[in-house]
Chain A
Amino acid sequence: AQTVTQSQPEMSVQEAETVTLSCTYDTSENNYYLFWYKQPPSRQMILVIRQEAYKQQNATENRFSVNFQKAAKSFSLKISDSQLGDTAMYFCAFIPYAGNMLTFGGGTRLMVKP
């Protein structure tokens, strides 16, 4: 079974600053996908960024980038130039390439302060 751990229940950052959210996972699989999802207070979950485990290059989407350390089983999310609209719950998630179940971490509540 896979587990995903987010060790920071809550974080805050000043607008325009950079913040990094942590995620670690445990698996015996070699091929898998990792995701960061954002859930704003309105509750609808949206995908922020996705990483394939076989790719060594870290994924980047505009102000969002990841630091994927496969050996350490670590997958952190960096948000640059934080904006008020980034305030949300952020969930790290894992799915084996040959599996079915997307496993979520417990989430990190991020507050961007003006």
Chain B
Amino acid sequence: EAGVAQSPRYKIIEKRQSVAFWCNPISGHATLYWYQQILGQGPKLLIQFQNNGVVDDSQLPKDRFSAERLKGVDSTLKIQPAKLEDSAVYLCASSVNRVGEQFFGPGTRLTVL
């Protein structure tokens, strides 16, 4: 069974630029999550999708971050414009249901200069 795929693995941009991350969850997993993991900290949930609907985006900085999962499968997370404090690893995870085991992708390491 293929795992959660993410791309790119690494991204370096300058502040005020835009960036997008892509995630393809495990086939059949209805729930998809985006986390931000700042170095030395635990992951923080940014947004959770159930199929193509948003379940929780209370911790998403909506003035600069956006995410979509239009067809209920893969998802993109966008930051526009980026700030220095956005430097982090962005993890995507998926699960069969809301309280099921979450399977994580390898993450995208973003560096904002």
Residues of A within 8 A of B (CB): 4, 33, 42-47, 50, 91, 93, 95, 97, 100-107
23 pairs from A and B in contact (CB 8 Å cutoff): A33-B99, A42-B106, A43-B89, A43-B106, A43-B107, A44-B105, A45-B93, A45-B104, A91-B43, A93-B42, A95-B99, A97-B99, A100-B48, A100-B56, A101-B45, A101-B48, A101-B56, A102-B33, A102-B45, A104-B42, A105-B42, A106-B42, A107-B40
Docked-complex contact A104 and B43, CB < 8 angstroms: yes
Docked-complex contact A91 and B42, CB < 8 angstroms: yes
Min Cβ gap B44→A in Å is 7
In the complex, residue of chain A having the shortest beta-carbon distance to the beta carbon of B105:
A44
Docked-complex contact A45 and B91, CB < 8 angstroms: yes
Contacting residues, chain A, for B55 (C-beta < 8 A): 100
Chain B interface extent, by class: 20 to 34
Sample of 4 more A-B contacts, CB < 8 Å, known A33-B99, A44-B104: A43-B89, A91-B43, A101-B48, A104-B43
User: Could you tell me the distance between the alpha carbons of A4 and B43 in the complex, rounded to whole angstroms?
Assistant: 12
User: Could you tell me the distance between the alpha carbons of A100 and B48 in the complex, rounded to whole angstroms?
Assistant: 8
The one of B42, B89, B98, B105 in contact with A100, judged by C-beta atoms closer than 8 angstroms, is B98
Docked-complex contact B101 and A50, CB < 8 angstroms: yes
Docked-complex contact A44 and B107, CB < 8 angstroms: yes
B102 at the interface (CB under 8 A from A): yes
Q: Residue among B91, B93, B104 with the most chain A CB within 10 A?
A: B104
Contacting residues, chain A, for B107 (C-beta < 8 A): 43-44
Min Cβ gap A92→B in Å is 8
Min Cβ gap B74→A in Å is 18
Docked-complex contact B101 and A44, CB < 8 angstroms: no
Min Cβ gap B82→A in Å is 21
Given known A-B contacts A101-B45, A106-B41, A44 and B98 have beta carbons under 8 A apart: no
Min Cβ gap B79→A in Å is 19
Min Cβ gap A101→B in Å is 5
Min Cβ gap A99→B in Å is 8
In the complex, residue of chain B having the shortest beta-carbon distance to the beta carbon of A107:
B42
